[in-house]
Amino acid sequence: MSTDALIMLRRNFKHIARNPVTVFNGALMPVVIMLLFVYVLGGAFNVGEKYIEYATPGMILLAITYGLSGTAVSVNSDMAKGIINRFKVMNVSRGAVLTGHVAATMLGSSVAIAAIIAIAFALGFRSAATPLDWLGAIGIVAATAFATAWLTVALGMAAKAPESAGLSVVPLLLLPFLSSAIVPAAKMGAGFRQFAEYQPFTPIIESLRSLLAGTPSGGYTAAALAWCAGIAVVGYVWAITTFSRRV
């Protein structure tokens, strides 16, 4: 990463850490949802194993997606307020403004994910994963965070105002609930089941689940990586073209 991008990363991470709303959404919400599902609702779900074992991979994903609305708002505010013009009349690398947002989002996600994993272990989550499996899991999580962050930067850039920018990522927040994150897709009603089976978050979660269980699934992992690559490319190209049109 360039020096400019590192400077922007520091700036954007301060934004995330200083805004109570983004801290709540990004770090506390996933924990609250996790406790809600594990203690309140999970007992009623028959998923064939201890619910905490089943739910942890999905919760890790929620820790990524819940951090996104803050990024969309922050990207949009940069464009709407004068600060972007200040960067533009300086010899600051254009890409650094965007990669700074992506990097700060991923840094925020890692904090939230670390919290989720720590709490999962405290709640009885146990993993049979080998160090190599863990490495694979980290890779999948990083690829997902990277891809969704670029898509979010594009969504934030394309939104008309900061208010609508926050809303534009709501579909990304809902998708994990309509995947096998909370309950297996096979148990969903007709229509939802097919949707859950073919949407990107299901292979991502299944791949993560298999890695954390120590039984890696090559098929899910390949599908997950393909989805991440696709989303990242679309997000990147969309973000860059919107950026150059707006500035």
Partner 1 sequence: MSTSDIAVSGLRKAYGDKVVLDGIDFDVAAGSVFSMLGPNGAGKTTTVNVLTTLLKADAGTVRVGGHDVATETRQVRSVIGVTGQFAAVDDLLTGRENLRLMADLKRVRSAGRVIARLLERFDLTEPADKLASTYSGGMRRKLDLAMTLVDSPRIIFLDEPTTGLDPRSRRTMWEIVRELVADGTTIFLTTQYLEEADQLAHLIAVLDQGRLVAQGTPEELKRLVPGSHVQLRFASVHELDAAARVLPGATPDDENLTLRVPGDGGVKSLQALLGRLSEYSINAEELSLHTPDLDDVFLALTGHANTEVNAQ
Q: Which residues bind partner 1 (CB under 8 A)?
A: 3-4, 7, 11, 14-15, 18-19, 81-83, 85-92
Task: Report the C-alpha gap between 165 and 40 in whole angstroms.
Answer: 32
**Residue with smaller CB distance to partner 1, 20 or 48:** 20
**Residue with smaller CB distance to partner 1, 90 or 190:** 90
DSSP code of residue 199: S
Given the structure tokens 């089943």, which residue do they identify? Answer: 54
Given the structure tokens 């990277």, which residue do they identify? Answer: 146
Residues found in the chain: 247
**Residue with smaller CB distance to partner 1, 160 or 246:** 246
Q: Widest CA span of the chain, in angstroms?
A: 59
CB 8, min distance to partner 1, A: 9
Task: Report the C-alpha gap between 200 and 237 in whole angstroms.
Answer: 19
**Residue with smaller CB distance to partner 1, 81 or 160:** 81
Q: Cα 164 to chain center, whole Å?
A: 19
CB 32, min distance to partner 1, A: 24
CB 14, min distance to partner 1, A: 6
Q: Is the Cβ–Cβ distance between 140 and 211 less than 8 Å?
A: yes
CB 90, min distance to partner 1, A: 6
Helix (H) or strand (E) holding 62, with range, is: helix 51-65
**Residue with smaller CB distance to partner 1, 82 or 218:** 82
CB 153, min distance to partner 1, A: 18
